Amino acid sequence: MSIPFLPELQLPIIQAPMAGVQGSALAIAVSNAGGLGSLPCAMLGAEALQQELDTIRRQTDRPINLNFFSHQMPVPDPARARAWQGLFRRYYRELDVEPAAAGPLRRPFDQATADIVCAWQPQVVSFHFGLPDTGLLEQVRSCGAKILSSATTVEEALWLEAQGVDAIIAQGVEAGGHRGMFLSDDITTQIGTMALLPQVLDVVRVPVIAAGGIADARGVKAALDMGAAAVQLGTAYLLCPEASTSALHRAALQSPLARHTVLTNIFSGRPARGMVNRMVRDLGPMNPLAPAFPLATAASAPLRAKAESQGSHDFTPLWSGQNASACKAIPAAELTRELVSLL
C-alpha cells in the first residue's frame, strides 16, 4: 500500500509521538514492523537527542518521524505564578515537600536542534502547536525531510497547507495528550475526528492523516475508507512493552478510570486529554489561574515525584485518548500488524 507523502512506508500506521511515556524503543519497533515510528523530542536536550538518534541509526534503517513542539516560550508572570502555586500549598503540607522553582520544560524547536536534525537527515519531521519560524522550517525542508503538523480545525489545516507542509494530521478532540491547537485557545472549537477528517479532506490538496480516538483495526479501516492517507495512534501503544509508560499509568489504563477523560490545562498550561485523578478533580479540569504553557508544570512537579514514590497517581498526568479499550500489553510490532488486519 503506497502512502502518498512517504512511498517507502509499508503500512499506513503512524505511532503518535508521546513525550514522557516513550523513547526510541517504541519508535524503532513500529518502524521495523512497517509503520512510521515517532520519537518525541521536545523534552530532550541536545545530548539526549543525539543519543536517541544514534540508537535509532543502529537498530533500524526504516523511516522515523522526529517530533518537536513549535510553541513560543511565554514571558513569566510572577503574580500569576504565585497565585497558581498558592493553590498547591495544602498539598505541599500534606506530602511534606517544598515548592520547586521550575519544572521539566518542553523545549520549542530552535536553531541548535535544527542543526542536529539536519545532520541526521530524518525522512520525516513533525511539529505540534503549528510550525517553527520560516527560516528553521526551510532548513529542515532543505535536508530532505517531509514536514507534517497537526491541525485541530479546518482553519488550522488551511494555514498549514499554505505553509507548504507535506501532510496534515487531523487531530480530533478524542486524542490523548496535548491538543495541537495553535490559531485559537478556545477549546469549544475542538471537534471529533470523524467530523474533522472529511471537512479537512474537502478543502486541502495535501494528504491527510487521521488521529484521535482510533484504537483498533475497525477504526483504522473507517478512517482510510473516508479518505485518510494514514492513521496516527498513540493511546493504543501505551501498554506495549517497548513504551516507558509507568506502572501507575499502565494500571490506570486497564481500570475504569480510563473510561473518563477530560481536557485539562492544570498539568502544563495547555489543554491536554487525560484521565480524571485527584488533581484534576480538585483544581480543574480547566483552571484560569494556570500559567501559560509550559510554566504550569513547576507547581505540581515535586508533588508528583513524592506521590509516585508512594504508589499514588494523584498528581500524575495520566494522558489517554477517549478510547483506551483496545490497549493491549503486546509487542508494538504485533499491535501494528493487528491494526491493518482488516485492510
- Domain range list for the chain: 1-71+106-236+328-343, 77-105+255-326
The CATH fold of domain 1-71+106-236+328-343: TIM Barrel (3.20.20)
pLDDT score recorded for residue 5:
87
pLDDT score recorded for residue 104:
65
The three three-digit cell numbers of residue 288, written as one number? 484560569
Q: Is 325 left (phi over 0), alpha (psi -120 to 50) or beta?
A: alpha
Torsion angle defined by CA atoms of residues 181, 195, 324 and 56, in that order, rounded to the nearest 10 degrees? -50
- Residue among 84, 75, 139, 52 nearest 299 (CA): 84
Q: Round the CA-based radius of gyration of the chain to a whole number and report it.
A: 19
Cross-strand partners of 263:
273
pLDDT score recorded for residue 157:
98
- What predicted TM-score, i.e. pTM, was given to this entire model? 0.97
pLDDT score recorded for residue 100:
84
The two beta strands, 13-15 and 230-233, are: parallel
The three three-digit cell numbers of residue 2, written as one number? 503506497
pLDDT score recorded for residue 180:
98
Q: Which residues of 102-132 are buried (b: 16+ CB within 10 A; e: fewer)?
A: ebeebbbbeeebbeebbebebbbbbbbbbbb
pLDDT score recorded for residue 1:
63
pLDDT score recorded for residue 103:
64
d(CA 214, CA 218): 8
Direct distance between the N- and C-terminal alpha carbons of the chain, in angstroms, rounded to an integer: 10
H and E: helices and strands count for the chain? 13, 11
pLDDT by residue for the chain (343 residues), tens digit each? 668 889 999 999 999 999 999 999 999 999 999 999 999 999 999 999 999 999 999 999 999 999 999 999 999 899 999 999 999 999 999 999 999 877 667 889 999 999 999 999 999 999 999 999 999 999 999 999 999 999 999 999 999 999 999 999 999 999 999 999 999 999 999 999 999 999 999 999 999 999 999 999 999 999 999 999 999 999 999 999 999 999 999 999 999 999 999 999 999 999 999 999 999 999 999 999 999 999 999 999 999 999 999 999 999 999 999 999 999 999 999 999 999 999 9
pLDDT score recorded for residue 335:
98
d(CA 3, CA 172): 21
d(CA 178, CA 111): 24
